[in-house]
C-alpha cells in the first residue's frame, strides 16, 4: 500500500495530477464562461423587453396623447409580473404606475439605471416591504413629464446566483472526482510497476525462473511484460548455457590436458630414447592444436551469439559459396572414397555474413565426410540449395549411419558428441556453431532422416 506522499513522489502520480489540474482549469473556465454568458443573455432579453414596451407606449402616446399613455401604462402596471412603470409630472409627483417613488437622479438623467426600491402591493403581496432591484430606462416627455419603464431583476439575480451555486458545486465535484480517479489510476499503474520490481528483485536474488505476470487485458503493460519475459527467458537460457559450457569445458578439456601432461612427463624421464621424446613432442603439438581449435570454436560461437560477427552483412551468392567449399573438400572426400554432388538453384543474392555461413557449411561437410564412411553402399554426400516459402534452404545430406531421432536436439548443444564419434577427432562444437550462425541470420537448423544417413537443413529467411 502506498501513502499519499509515496504516491506524490512517483512520476506517474505527478503526471496524473498535472493532467487533472489542466482538466479542472479548463472545466472551470468553460463553466464560468457558460454562467457569464447566461447572465448576459438574460440581461439582454430584459433590456429588449423594456425597449419593446417603450416602443408600444410611444405609439400610444403619439395616437392618444398624455391621457392615452397614462391609461396604457397603468393597465400594464396592474398586471402581475416583474414590470416597473412610473409617470410623474414636472414637479416629480407620481401620476401613474406601480412604484411609490423613483430616485431623483433617475428622473433627472434619462438613460438606463439600476437602483433598489421598496416593492409595492402590486409586486409582492406577501412581503410588501421587501427590497427590490430595478433595471429601468427613463425619458423626458415633450410636456415635461417623466416616464420610467423597467423590470425587477431580483429573480434574474436569483437565477444568476443559482447558476453560480451550480458552478461552484460543479467545480467541487470535478475536483473531488478527478482526485479520486487520479489516485485510483496512479495506484493501478504503480501496482503493475510493483509487480515488475518484485519480479526483478526475485531474479536478482537468484530465482532466474521468475517471470512478470501477464493479465488478460492485452494492454501496453502486458506487451511490455511479454517482451521482458522473452528477454528473461533468453537470459536464463544463456546463463544455463554458460553453466553447461563451463561444466563441459572442465570435463572435456581435463582429459586431453591430463594426457598431454602425462606424455610430456614421460618424455622427460631419464633413459627415454630420443625418438620417443620426439614422438611425445609431436603428440603434444597435435593435442595443443586441437585445444586451440576448440577454444577458437568457442570464441567464434560466443561472438556469433553476441550478435557481433567479424564483418557486417553483405550481399552474397550462396551458390558460389557452396561451389568453393565443394572444390575445397572434393580431394579429401575422394581420398575416403566419397563422392560429393551439388544441386543448386540460381537464387537472388542473399544478405548475410559470408565468412560465418561458409564456416557453417564447412562444419556440415566435415561432419558428413566423417559419418559417410560408415555407409553400407557407396558413400555419397549431396549439397542442395533452393528457395521455399520465403526462405533459403541449404541441405547437406549423407548416406552414413545417421543421427538417432532422440539425439537430434542434443547434438546441437556444445561439447555433445555421440558415443560412436568419441574416438574420432573433434570437440563437439561443429553443429553448435551451425545453430548459432542460423540464429544470427534469424533462421534455424533441422536434422532429418535421409534414409539412410542424416539430412541437415539450414533454413535462412530471405529477408533478414
β 444-449/380-388 pair status: unpaired
* Contacts of 229-238 spanning 24+ positions with Cβ under 8 A: 232/203, 232/208, 235/208, 236/208, 236/209, 238/305
Q: Where are the beta strands (DSSP E) in 2-145?
A: 83-88, 94-97, 111-118, 131-140
Q: What is the pLDDT of residues 373-401, one digit of tens each?
A: 777 778 889 999 998 888 899 999 988 87
Architecture of domain 314-461: 2-Layer Sandwich (3.30)
The four Cα atoms 166, 168, 173, 174 give a dihedral, to 10 degrees, of 110
Q: What is the pLDDT of residues 233-243, one digit of tens each?
A: 888 877 876 77
Cβ-count burial of 165 within 10 angstroms (0-12 exposed, 13-18 middle, 19+ buried)? exposed
pLDDT, position 123: 42
Cβ-based neighbours of 382, under 8 Å, separated by 6 or more = 340, 341, 342, 343, 395, 396, 397, 398
User: CA 427, CA 433: separation in Å to the nearest integer?
Assistant: 11
The H or E element containing residue 435 is helix 430-440
pLDDT, position 186: 74
Instruction: Please tell me the class of the 12-158 domain.
Output: alpha beta
The four Cα atoms 231, 233, 236, 241 give a dihedral, to 10 degrees, of -100
SS3 assignment, position 457? strand
Q: What is the pLDDT of residues 405-442, one digit of tens each?
A: 777 777 777 666 665 554 455 566 778 888 888 888 88
* Chain centre distance of CA 438: 30
Q: Where are the domains of the chain?
A: 12-158, 211-308, 314-461
pLDDT, position 18: 81
The strand order across the sheet containing 94-97 reads 94-97, 83-88, 146-152, 131-140, 111-118
User: CA 75, CA 401: separation in Å to the nearest integer?
Assistant: 123
Q: In the chain, which residues have pLDDT < 50?
A: 1, 121-125, 128-129, 310, 422-423
User: CA 174, CA 335: separation in Å to the nearest integer?
Assistant: 90
β 131-140/146-152 pair status: antiparallel
φ, ψ of residue 404 to 5 degrees: the values are -55, 145
Q: What is the pLDDT of residues 138-161, one digit of tens each?
A: 888 888 888 888 888 777 666 767
pLDDT, position 385: 92
Amino acid at each position: 500500500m502506498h501513502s499519499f506522499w509515496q504516491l506524490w513522489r512517483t512520476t506517474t502520480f505527478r503526471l496524473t495530477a498535472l493532467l487533472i489540474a489542466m482538466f479542472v482549469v479548463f472545466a472551470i473556465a468553460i463553466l464560468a464562461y457558460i454562467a457569464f454568458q447566461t447572465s448576459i443573455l438574460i440581461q439582454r432579453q430584459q433590456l429588449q423587453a423594456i425597449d419593446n414596451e417603450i416602443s408600444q407606449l410611444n405609439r400610444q402616446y403619439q395616437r392618444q396623447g398624455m391621457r392615452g399613455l397614462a391609461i396604457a401604462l397603468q393597465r400594464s402596471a396592474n398586471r402581475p409580473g416583474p414590470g416597473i412603470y412610473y409617470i410623474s409630472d414636472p414637479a416629480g409627483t407620481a401620476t401613474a404606475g406601480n412604484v411609490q417613488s423613483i430616485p431623483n437622479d433617475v428622473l433627472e438623467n434619462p438613460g438606463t439605471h439600476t437602483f433598489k426600491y421598496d416593492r409595492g402591493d402590486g409586486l409582492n403581496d406577501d412581503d410588501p416591504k421587501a427590497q427590490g432591484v430595478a433595471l429601468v430606462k427613463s425619458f423626458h416627455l415633450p410636456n415635461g413629464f417623466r416616464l420610467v419603464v423597467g423590470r425587477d431583476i431580483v429573480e434574474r439575480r436569483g437565477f444568476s446566483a443559482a447558476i453560480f451555486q451550480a458552478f461552484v458545486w460543479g467545480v467541487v465535484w470535478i475536483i473531488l472526482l478527478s482526485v479520486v480517479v487520479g489516485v485510483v489510476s496512479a495506484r493501478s499503474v504503480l501496482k503493475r510497476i510493483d509487480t515488475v520490481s518484485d519480479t526483478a528483485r526475485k531474479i536478482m536474488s537468484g530465482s532466474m525462473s521468475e517471470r512478470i505476470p501477464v493479465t488478460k487485458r492485452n494492454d501496453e503493460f502486458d506487451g511490455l511484460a511479454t517482451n521482458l519475459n522473452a528477454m528473461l527467458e533468453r537470459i536464463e537460457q544463456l546463463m544455463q548455457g554458460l553453466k553447461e559450457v563451463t561444466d563441459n569445458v572442465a570435463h572435456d578439456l581435463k582429459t586431453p590436458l591430463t594426457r598431454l601432461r602425462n606424455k610430456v612427463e614421460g618424455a622427460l624421464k631419464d633413459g627415454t630414447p630420443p625418438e620417443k621424446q620426439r614422438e611425445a613432442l609431436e603428440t603434444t603439438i597435435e593435442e595443443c592444436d586441437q585445444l586451440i581449435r576448440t577454444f577458437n570454436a568457442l570464441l567464434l560461437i560466443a561472438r556469433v551469439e553476441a550478435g557481433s560477427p567479424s564483418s557486417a552483412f553483405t550481399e552474397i551468392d550462396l551458390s558460389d559459396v557452396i561451389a568453393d567449399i565443394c572444390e575445397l573438400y572434393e580431394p579429401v572426400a575422394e581420398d575416403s572414397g566419397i563422392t560429393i554432388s551439388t544441386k543448386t538453384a540460381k537464387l537472388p543474392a542473399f544478405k548475410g555474413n559470408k565468412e560465418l555461413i561458409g564456416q557453417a557449411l564447412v562444419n556440415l561437410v566435415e561432419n558428413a565426410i566423417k559419418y559417410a564412411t560408415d555407409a553400407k553402399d557407396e558413400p555419397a554426400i549431396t549439397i542442395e540449395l533452393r528457395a521455399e516459402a520465403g526462405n533459403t534452404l541449404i541441405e547437406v545430406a549423407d548416406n552414413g549411419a545417421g543421427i538417432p531421432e532422440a539425439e537430434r536436439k542434443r547434438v546441437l548443444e556444445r561439447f555433445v558428441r555421440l558415443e560412436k564419434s568419441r574416438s574420432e577427432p573433434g570437440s563437439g562444437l561443429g553443429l553448435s556453431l551451425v545453430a548459432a550462425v542460423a540464429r544470427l541470420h534469424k533462421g534455424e537448423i533441422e536434422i532429418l532422416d535421409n534414409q539412410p544417413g542424416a539430412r541437415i537443413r539450414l533454413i535462412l529467411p530471405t529477408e533478414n
